[in-house]
Structure 1
Amino acid sequence: MIKMLNLITLEHGSGGKKMQSLIHELFLRHFDNEQLNSQEDQARIPFDTLIAQGDRLAFTTDSFVIDPIFFPGGNIGKLAVCGTVNDLAVGGAIPKYLSVGFILEEGLPIQDLEQIVIAMAQTAKEAGVTIVTGDTKVVAKGACDKIFINTSGIGVIPKPLQIGARQIKAGDKIIVNGTLGDHAVAILQARNELALSGSIKSDCAPLNLLTQPLLAQPGVHAMRDATRGGVAAVCNEIADMTKLGMLIKETALPLHPEVTAVSEILGLDPLLMANEGKAVIFVESAEADALLAHLRTLPYSDNAAIIGEVVDSVEGVFIESLYGARKKLLMPTGEQLPRIC
């Protein structure tokens, strides 16, 4: 713990002694690695370690403004690492390096910041990535809400791997690696705005722990992580890109009982709810059952299920009920739950 003030002040972003103390006693201590410890203005990454693992770089960036910053199953720091790792992982990349930018509100308890940094360090270690560079800014009280985080990531795509929406074809099965909507409901309960109670936790998790071994199996055509907008957004986006249709079986959806209950009470649709540890996987039909069995042996995939298929008989995305009735599942037009990530 930093042996100074208990709260972040504007001086912690001034570039002076307090900022140096914050960097050394908090960030360098918990993110400890050779590149970061060199304290240059840029990370210096050797090419040979990247070339040995693939022939293309994947690069992504994301910002996190979730409210509340601590929630069942994680905090904004864990979320920031998982979110960027997952964006790389579903593209087939092996995540390698992250940058982290903090915007801190004056008055943020340093103890809270340390908990967030510890969670980031632990999650990065679990995912096998290194936080190699970063930046910290402090703004006056009221200019942001406690803490905002930006993370960017670099990964390596192995040769000759080719996955993406353009590889999807009619007949492909659609698989998810577990229960849907857990993150959204956990955040809704944590906000205490609607007197909801429950024990559900966010599904926040680094998906490369399942995507990398999964891609060693035949049949995977594409993957996406179902964050804001949920499975509905992913399927509609890909249907629009490919001009293929998708048919989702309502009875096949893996749902936690608490998610079902909250959805019914509030009129929410789990297919539109945000997730932070769920991949939507498009798989060759002949390989789907074997791949699902393998997926269930991997982390964060106990409740993996085939939820539908890609078709060329309809345009857009449809959900089919137990009795065979079909309803079009539209792209979300608004935000069911703002500041969910």
Structure 2
Amino acid sequence: MNAPTSAPLRAPRRALPQTITLAHGGGGTAMRDLIEVVFVSAFATTRDQDAAAPLEDQARFDLAALAASGDRLAFTTDSFVVDPLFFPGGDIGKLAVCGTINDIAVGGARPVALSCAMILEEGLPVEILRRVAVSMAETARAAGVPIVTGDTKVVARGACDKLFITTTGIGVVRTGIEIGIGRARPGDVVLVNGLLGDHGAAILDARGDLHLDHTIESDCAPLHDLVAVLITAAPGVRSLRDATRGGVSAVLNELAEASGVGVRIRELDLPVRPEVHGFCEILGLDPLYLANEGKLVAVVPADEAAAALAALRAHPLGREAVAIGEVVATRPGRVVMETRFGGERIVDMLVGDQLPRIC
């Protein structure tokens, strides 16, 4: 985590205080103690490296090993400012790891490694930071994608809201895989891997304003293994996107515009759990626009749709997978939904967001 020296992990010179201070971002012993005790001890468990190994200002990779896995490098970065930091089904740390892995995976790449940069507010309880770091480490370790480098900054009280995380990921795209938002063709089938809107609903529920009878859990999950299974079953897959901010609506509108096609979806086929459907009805929200953190939209050729669905449904993260519509030649750039009442409506992108700070 960009420690000021490359000396190995050691016991801190003093016990860590209960809260973050400006000294923890100053480059001295307080910063080093925080990095080694909170971050290095957790993140070293995600990679083939001992926690006592020297700390460097960068991670290093064997180019020959990367080249043996594919012919292109995928690279992404994302920032996470979710409120609250902890919610049913996840927390900001798990969200950061899963979100970055998914951004790599939907390009058809195998995630290789992650970085983690944190901006901490003065006064943040150290125990909260520990919980987030452990959650990140557990998620990365379970996904098999190590956290290999990072950075820590501390800002004065009030300059940020508790904790912000920026993660970057790299991955390798296997030779022959060509997946992109502009590759959809009329006749293709649109699939989703499960229930929509859970994350957006979980975040709003976790803020405690609604007092719902049933807790809604976020769908936060890494999707790289699911994507690998899908590509094996349907090697002609045209496009993949994880439906985060803006939900499925944003993905489909970007697809229609980039590919110069129309998209028709069926409201009756949209997989939404009853609790989320009721939640949306009460608040006047639309599940098509709610964020997801473990759902992808896949566009596959019609002759591969059955195999793709079967592969998705055989995976734990795709058991509720369904076809929700088709790519069409009419109304290029538009997404049209056949309503449950037999009519049609245009599904536009939102100007802003239905809910603030959901990731």
Q: TM-score range by the shorter chain?
A: over 0.9
Aligned to 2:309: 292
| One-letter code aligned to 1:252 | D
Contact 1:65 1:339 in 2 (8 A): yes
Contact 1:81 1:151 in 2 (8 A): yes
2:190 pairs with 1:174: yes
Look up the match of 2:320: 303
Q: Please say if 1:130 is aligned against 2:146.
A: yes
Deviation at 1:11, TM superposition (A): 1.1
> What is the percent sequence identity of the aligned residues?
54
CA–CA distance in structure 2, aligned partners of residues 280 and 126 of structure 1: 23
Q: Is the contact made by 2:78 and 2:100 (CA closer than 8 Å) also made in structure 1?
A: yes
- 1:195 to partner: Cα distance: 3.5
Q: 1:57, 1:106 → 2: CA distance?
A: 37
Write the distance in 1 (CA, Å) between the matches of 2:178 and 2:264: 25
Cross-structure match for 1:24: 36
Distance 2:311 2:145 in 1: 24
Q: Deviations over 1:244-281 (max 9, x none)?
A: 00001000010011110011001100001110110000
User: Does 1:230 pair with 2:247?
Assistant: yes
Q: Kindly indicate whether residue 289 of structure 2 is the aligned counterpart of residue 277 of structure 1.
A: no
**2:31 is the counterpart of 1:14:** no
- Partner Cα distance (1:243, 1:161) in 2: 22
How many Å apart are 1:189 and its aligned residue?
0.4
- Equivalent residue, structure 2, for 1:94: 110
Distance in 1 (alpha carbons) for counterparts of 2:99 and 2:85: 15
Following superposition of structure 1 onto structure 2, how do residues 10-159 of structure 1 map, counting pairs within 5 Å?
10-32=22-44, 33=47, 34=49, 37-159=53-175
User: What residue number does 1:160 align with?
Assistant: 176
Equivalent residue letter for 1:19? M
State the alpha-carbon separation in 1 of the partners of residues 265 and 233 from structure 2: 24
Gaps of 5+ in 1: none
- For residues 121-145 of structure 1, the C-alpha deviation after alignment (integer angstroms, 9 at most, x for no partner) is 1111122111111000011111100
Deviations 1:44-78 (A, max 9, x none): 11112211110100000000000000000010000
**CA distance, structure 2, for counterparts of residue 299 and residue 14 of structure 1:** 45
Q: Distance in 2 between matches of 1:216 and 1:35?
A: 35
| CA displacement, residues 176-203 of structure 1 (integer Å, 9 cap, x when unaligned) | 0010000000000000123344221000
Q: Secondary structure at the match of 1:167?
A: coil
Aligned-partner Cα distance in 2 for 1:46–1:123: 24
Mapped partners of 1:65, 1:156: distance in 2: 27
Q: 1:5 is matched with which residue?
A: 17
Higher mean C-alpha displacement, 8-17 vs 58-67: 8-17
Deviation at 1:119, TM superposition (A): 0.8
1:255 to 262, 272, 281: 272
Name the CA distance, whole Å, in 2 between partners of 1:28 and 1:62: 21
Do 1:186 and 1:202's aligned partners in 2 also have CA atoms closer than 8 Å? yes
SS at the partner of 1:151?
Answer: strand
Alignment match, 1:330: 348
Q: In the TM superposition, what whole-angstrom CA distance separates every residue of 1:141-179 from its partner, at most 9, and x where no partner exists? A: 111000000001100000011111232110111100010
1:120, distance to aligned residue in structure 2 (A): 0.5
RMSD: 1.5
CA contact (8 A) 1:35 1:43 kept: no
| Count of aligned positions | 341
How big is the shift at 1:38? Answer: 3.1
**Aligned partners of 2:205 and 2:215 also within 8 Å:** no
Amino acid at match of 1:275: N
Structure-2 residue corresponding to 1:339: 357
Q: Do 1:180 and 1:271's aligned partners in 2 also have CA atoms closer than 8 Å?
A: yes
2:5 aligns with none
Deviation of 1:242 (Å): 1.1
Larger mean CA deviation between 36-45 and 255-264 belongs to: 36-45
Q: Which residue of 1 aligns with 2:3?
A: none
| Partner residue, 2:211 | 195
Whether the aligned pair in 2 keeps the contact of 1:71 and 1:202 (CA below 8 Å) is: yes
